[in-house]
Amino acid sequence: MHLNNSNKKRNRRPRSDSQGSTSSTSSASSLSDGEQGHSYHRAPQSKGNLNQQEKNNVNNKCRRSKGKRRSRSHKREKNQLSLPEEAKFVALDCEMVGIGEDGHTSSVARVTVVDWDGNSLLDEYIQQAEPVTDYRTFVSGIIAQDLDDATLSLEDCRDMVLQLLQNHILVGHALKNDLKALGISHPWWLTRDTAKFEPFMKVRFDDGVLWPRKLKELVSEKLHQEIQIEGKPHSPYEDALAALDLYRSVRTKWESAMTYKIDKTNQIRLQHHQPVLAQ
């Protein structure tokens, strides 16, 4: 956007011709009527040399002033939040199909893992150990041919995911379902589940209990974007990125809360002579 500079002219004070400081008389004369200059407190002119006691008083005041500045500076440094490195983050999303007589039992059929920059680290269809009775194509986007061509077993996929998650912070939405389907777990202090982040949750009833919200709803409200468009299948890559973007939008606030929880937990663990949690 271009600004009209003709309407934005600044009044600049002319630079003093003299190299030294201007006199109080010339400074006062340069101010217009009603305009007040900055008032500076000047030390009174000494009529003679300061005695030793006066010198000591001045030195003590200087030391106290410097001490206060150092204290304030130290406090600011202490309160600064140290955010985890971006390279430590990965996002996960899985798509399920239905197995069993009624197709209500979920079986992981596609697994996607992306890094902080959205690069795909893993995106594979999974061989099914049991016949699929409901492909849930309208949601999962998976068809029979996808799984017929799959060459990766659930066990091999689990090992690959575990390797990607090792010493990493996992981001996702409703991760409990995905991790359960994969048969793995991940430390709570290394998990960022957008379905469980309290500011993203809402109260449904009068009991004040917070409930998770749908990923689609959160992305629309918080990011002003649209995913999981009606009539189109879900994309695990898109959903993983959406969860990561939600986390990014509140990263500092979230990490501040996590740091507090981890510090409190470590205090308790130290009291019981247990090893502390490491991020």
Is 255 a member of any domain? yes
Side-chain half-sphere of 88: how many Cα atoms within 13 Å?
12
DSSP secondary structure, 167-214, as one string = T-EEEESSHHHHHHHHT----GGGEEETTT-GGG-EE-STT--EE---
pLDDT score of 33: 41
Between the alpha carbon of residue 254 and those of residues 35, 168, 182, the distances in Å are: 48, 16, 26
pLDDT score of 233: 81
Is 156 a member of any domain? yes
- The radius of gyration of the chain's CA atoms, rounded to the nearest angstrom, is 32
pLDDT score of 82: 73
Is 3 a member of any domain? no
Q: Which domain holds residue 161?
A: 88-271
Distance between CA atoms of residues 169 and 187, nearest Å: 9
pLDDT score of 55: 57
Is 96 a member of any domain? yes
Q: Which single residue is written with the structure tokens 């049991």?
A: 130
What CATH number does residue 250 fall under? 3.30.420.10
pLDDT score of 230: 83
Whole-model pTM above 0.85?
no
Is 62 a member of any domain? no
pLDDT score of 84: 85
Per the structure, how many domains does the chain have? 1
Is 103 a member of any domain? yes
Is 107 a member of any domain? yes
Residue partners of 235: CB distance under 8 A and separation at least 6: 141, 227
Is 123 a member of any domain? yes
Helix (H) or strand (E) holding 125: strand 120-125
- Per-residue model confidence as pLDDT tens for the chain (279 residues): 444 444 444 444 444 444 444 443 343 333 334 333 333 233 444 444 556 666 566 566 655 655 555 444 444 444 456 788 999 999 999 999 999 999 999 999 999 999 999 999 999 999 999 999 999 998 899 999 999 999 999 999 999 999 999 999 999 999 999 999 999 999 999 999 999 999 999 998 888 899 999 999 999 999 999 998 888 888 999 999 999 999 999 999 999 999 999 999 999 999 999 999 876
SS3 content of the chain, % helix, strand, coil (to 5): 45, 15, 40
pLDDT score of 51: 62
